[in-house]
Amino acid sequence: MTSQLDNAVRTLAQSHFRTLRIGTPFQPRIDALAKTQDWYNWAGYRAPHSLWDEELEYFAVRSQAALFDISPMTKYRIEGPDAEAFLDHVTLRDVTKLRPGRVHYTAWCDDEGFVLDDGTLFRLSPTRFRLCSQERHLPWLLDSALGFDVIVEEETEAVAGLALQGPTAFAVLRDAGFAGVEKLKIFDLAEFPHDDGTATISRTGFTGDLGYELFVPADKALSLWDRSMAAGELRGIRAIGYTALNRARLEAGLIVANADFTTAEHAIRADRRRMPDEIGLGFMIDLEKGHFNGRRAILEARAKRKLRHVLVGLEIEGNIPAEHAIVYHKKSKDVGLVSAAMWSPMAKRNIAIASLTRPYGDTVVEDLWVEIYAMRELQYQKLMKRAKVVARPFIKLDRRTANPPSDF
Amino acid sequence: MKAWDAIIIGGGHNGLVNACYLQRAGLDVLVVEKNDWVGGAATSRELTPGFLYSNCSYVCSLFRPEIMRDLGLPRFGLQVISYEGGAVFTRDGDYLANYRDHDAHRREFARFSKRDAEAYDRYARDVTRQCRFIQPLLMRTAPDPTSLRPRDLGELLYLGKKFAGLSAEEMALTLRFWTMSISDFLDEYFETDVIKANFALSGIIGTALGPMSPGTAYVLLHHYMGEVDGSVGAWGYARGGMGAVTKALAASFKASGGTIRTGAEVDHVLVNRGKAKGVVLAGGEEIYGKLVVSNADVKRTFLKLVEEKELPDIFLRRVKNFKIRGSSGKVNIALDSLPEFPALPKDSPVYRGDMHFTDSMERMERAYDDWKAGRWSADPFLDMVIPTTLDPTMAPPGKHFMSCFVQYAPPKIAGREWTDADRDGFAESVVAQIAEYSPGFRERIVHIEVRTPREIEAEVGLTEGNIFQGELTFDQLLFNRPVPGYAQYRSPLSGLYMCGSSTHPGGGVMGAPGRNAAAEILRDLAKSTSHMSPAHDVI
């Protein structure tokens, strides 16, 4: 019997080669709404670029509430008496300052101070954390755990995640019966009863808007989706795909690993690796907290002025998005590259994130230009447009942090 | 009597590449080949009706695309088709598959170890970095480090600059790659035995070393630096078998006006006052040439085709010491139907990839122990492919050709020559291993071709049946290949050149030695090389 059972389990485990892009625990609901059938590969999952209209999906984020499936995000459970000390050793920020029930945005580096990834760290209890990121890091985390009393476990498939973002997000959750959700301040998290189990809800997101992220065990995913959708019906809730979310995140000035910078473990070309100070994450570095991975290299780079790059927000004249345009100084010297760009409906400005070679973007910020190659009916319209270095985020919405959160 | 501009000894892929480039430079070139067919170790012969084999080499990746383009090989029928992945069968009835899809690959590895599944990216990145470092060196003549000629200094500087361009971490890795054992190297990335065994195979193929022998990590790299149409590291089948490569080369050569004589075995090189003047065939016929290029390996060339008295002593000693040890054999099987492997789902893409049965590093090392004792491995490792799952030209519909590369097979059995009984015993070790995983396998066999080092040496001419014309260990690479001072395709005899895999950058159906040798010859003749594409950029 046992061996028959083992064989059945093995056969099931082998069968993944038949479905190269697997569904998330929410897939039945998403498939039902996927009018555009516009999919992309997110870390091996079949994820929607759009579901019904990428333009209008964006406005659902900014006007009502948008539901976005974040299950493919890589998730690690980090637990044990030394979990705090371990994460303090691995990541840039001071984890001892992260109280249970709080979340912070952080990043981690290799020994040479190059960024391996950025992500969010959820402190679920004094000894239990969840680290969410774009890329996979299990070997790195396990190797770093040497000498710490800590368990590191990959739980990407076991945990389903939803982002509920937009002005009515709070009202949706309250109406869905998550009692006490109004108490969550920005970057707070708490557990709520859901479907004979627990949902972890944090007031976090990737849109710069009022919003929450909800995590449940995979088998409670559909009930969570249904509960949110039912409660949101009168508050304009819509499911969205990545294109809309990507616009919202750009307005919020947030960066995406391996889109706006190349992660150190994936960089084939050594010169593509970036230190935190080179991608706008220098603020995370806590030199007071003692040793953390990459600290020495980062200090040395700062002291010896070895930081060669800088990531900046740009405002570009006109309204033609400058995606992947080259940035010039005085219209002639190539000083960098735009990694993300769009016309911002909220800011009514043409915005971009760019990586520049210092001193440009750092001490030299005048006379910067971008060369836009806009393909229009099989012809490039070449435009040279003035670019101004501006602070990120490009938009700041009071409702994101308002307490108590408002209904819309 | 006619004197050819150049006589190429041996119609293997490198000899033909060399011949093509020389002919296209305006030389009048003759290729002499001892067999009744061309191809050397890249041949496809029909040994039983309806079945085309890849008799020796069986998969393609290293063959340089620049050469395919220069010589117009697609026009002469060359097509390389990427294959789909592969698997190692495990003794508990399971398998570990390699899939082309990145995420499927990760999920498959995660069945054995989540950690190793995620470690693969790191491994792939490091291997890719090293390949990018080595790739541009393939199509350049290795510099002579003792020479003060501007060209050598320039090439040395190029090497130095490339090396200096690496980060400290990469430099460390490069040195480790060139010196470590594949076993130690894989230990740095993976924890699961079967996953290590899966990758280690590329480190010992064609090499008389075990996975725990230092130097084998480089051999793995050598197998990753090829490409199929820009997809670096990918391997494919040549449509029509590996003979399609040399068939296309021969056709291209003839189309450009070249002459091939098959059934013409060279007995020795004609030498007059330290200069090669032509060749003497086995029947005594003398053919004159202004220069002679040997596609044969360095031992065969200088220990058999040239009289010892014509050669300097140190050179001769080094040639004798050149490691070109026989370590592998080949079993080619015609099947009347596709074999079944109960461990594999019927719709698995693995059938269209390479399959192995050695699921642990220890088994692999033990297979090598047999070689050291002068026996073929009782439990050999096989690199097994069924090209007819993708190539409709090699067998009738529904029937299949299976190629098994087998290691280890010693050049001699406990010090004596191979016998026919040995050969059959060797074949049985292979068939028995496959049959263990594939019930009914024996019944499907229509015909079987068995090639121990004895057969390979006798037919192809490779000394000891070594597939690389000399092992790919670091002591025999770059300016040490084949021997120091003679790494630039020239020999101690004026007018005698080398163009086989014994020369830089080494073995595999790559064509680069043949091409690089042509460039050196044309330089000596002060002729243009404008018909030779430089190496593709690595950006």
Residue A12 lies in a domain: no
Query: Which residues 338-367 of B are in CB contact (within 8 Å) with A?
Result: 345, 347-349
B499-539 confidence digits (pLDDT tens): 999 999 999 999 999 999 999 999 999 999 999 999 999 88
A106 plus A123 within the same structural domain: yes
Cα–Cα distance for residue pair B470/B462, rounded to 1 Å = 9
Per the prediction, chain B carries an average pLDDT of 95
A15 in reach of chain B (CB within 8 A): yes
Per the prediction, chain A carries an average pLDDT of 97
Residue B389: the pLDDT is: 97
Q: Shortest Cα distance from B396 to chain A (angstroms)?
A: 28
B124-159 confidence digits (pLDDT tens): 999 999 998 888 889 999 988 888 888 889 888 888
- Tell whether the model's pLDDT for residue A354 goes beyond 90: yes
Cα–Cα distance for residue pair A390/A382, rounded to 1 Å = 24
Amino acid at B512: A
- Tell whether the model's pLDDT for residue A198 goes beyond 80: yes
A191 plus A123 within the same structural domain: no
Residue B136: the pLDDT is: 87
**pTM metric for this prediction:** 0.95
Residue B299: the pLDDT is: 98
A41 in reach of chain B (CB within 8 A): yes
A298-330 confidence digits (pLDDT tens): 999 999 999 999 999 999 999 999 999 999 999
B245-261 confidence digits (pLDDT tens): 999 999 999 999 999 99
Q: Domain range holding A35? A: 20-73+157-251
Residue B160: the pLDDT is: 86
A92 plus A216 within the same structural domain: no
B277-326 confidence digits (pLDDT tens): 999 999 999 999 999 999 999 999 999 999 999 999 999 999 999 999 99
- Tell whether the model's pLDDT for residue A141 goes beyond 90: yes
Do residues B97 and B261 make contact, with C-beta atoms less than 8 angstroms apart? no
A171 plus A94 within the same structural domain: no
Cα–Cα distance for residue pair B259/B250, rounded to 1 Å = 9
| CA angle A332–A336–A341, rounded 5-degree value | 110
| Best residue of A4, A16, A133 to probe chain B, by most B CBs closer than 10 Å | A16
Residue A2: the pLDDT is: 59
A383 plus A333 within the same structural domain: yes
A270 in reach of chain B (CB within 8 A): yes
Mean pLDDT of A230-255: 98
Q: What is the CATH number of the domain that holds A24?
A: 3.30.1360.120
Q: Is B283 exposed, middle or buried (0-12, 13-18, 19+ CB in 10 A)?
A: exposed
B88-102 confidence digits (pLDDT tens): 999 999 999 999 999
Q: Please, which residues bridge with residue B332 across strands? A: B403, B449
Mean pLDDT of A287-305: 96
Residue A325 lies in a domain: yes
Q: Is B375 exposed, middle or buried (0-12, 13-18, 19+ CB in 10 A)?
A: middle
Residue B421: the pLDDT is: 98
Residue A161 lies in a domain: yes
* Tokens 């460390």, located at residue: B172
Q: Do A14 and B111 touch (CB under 8 A)?
A: yes
- Tell whether the model's pLDDT for residue B428 goes beyond 90: yes
A334 plus A364 within the same structural domain: yes
The whole-angstrom distance between residue B180's C-alpha and the CA centroid of its chain comes to 21
Which percentage of chain B shows pLDDT scores above 70? 100
Residue A27 lies in a domain: yes
What CATH number should be reported for the domain whose range is B3-40+61-79+239-322+469-524?
3.50.50.60
B347-359 confidence digits (pLDDT tens): 999 999 999 999 9
A57 plus A192 within the same structural domain: yes
A171-184 confidence digits (pLDDT tens): 999 999 999 999 99
Cα–Cα distance for residue pair B85/A400, rounded to 1 Å = 49
- Tell whether the model's pLDDT for residue A112 goes beyond 60: yes
Mean pLDDT of A369-386: 97
From A110, A135, A154, give the residue that closes a domain: A154
Q: Give the confidence band of B230 by pLDDT, cuts at 50, 70, 90.
A: confident
Residue A150 lies in a domain: yes
In chain A, the N- to C-terminal Cα span, in Å, equals 58
What would the two tokens of residue A149 be? 């009393």
A122 plus A89 within the same structural domain: yes
Q: Contacts of residue A13 in chain B, CB cutoff 8 Å? A: 111
Helix (H, G, I), strand (E, B) or coil at B68: helix
B323-372 confidence digits (pLDDT tens): 999 999 999 999 999 999 999 999 999 999 999 999 999 999 999 999 99
- Tell whether the model's pLDDT for residue A1 goes beyond 60: no
Cα–Cα distance for residue pair A60/A51, rounded to 1 Å = 12
Q: Contacts of residue B189 in chain A, CB cutoff 8 Å? A: 139
Residue A202 lies in a domain: yes
Tell me how far CA of residue A240 lies from CA of A38, A149, A201, A321, A405, in angstroms.
11, 41, 19, 22, 22
Task: Name the closest residue on chain A to residue B165, using Cα atoms.
Answer: A270
Do residues B503 and B467 make contact, with C-beta atoms less than 8 angstroms apart? no
- Tell whether the model's pLDDT for residue B69 goes beyond 60: yes
Q: Give the confidence band of B436 by pLDDT, cuts at 50, 70, 90.
A: very high
* Domain count along chain A: 3
What would the two tokens of residue B92 be? 């508990």
- Tell whether the model's pLDDT for residue A79 goes beyond 90: yes
A179 plus A52 within the same structural domain: yes
A301 plus A371 within the same structural domain: yes
Residue B297: the pLDDT is: 98
Residue A406 lies in a domain: no
A188 plus A293 within the same structural domain: no
DSSP letter assigned to residue B314? H
Domain boundaries, chain B: 3-40+61-79+239-322+469-524
Q: Give the confidence band of B164 by pLDDT, cuts at 50, 70, 90.
A: confident
A147 plus A162 within the same structural domain: no
Q: Contacts of residue A21 in chain B, CB cutoff 8 Å? A: 103
* ipTM of this complex prediction, to 2 decimal places: 0.94
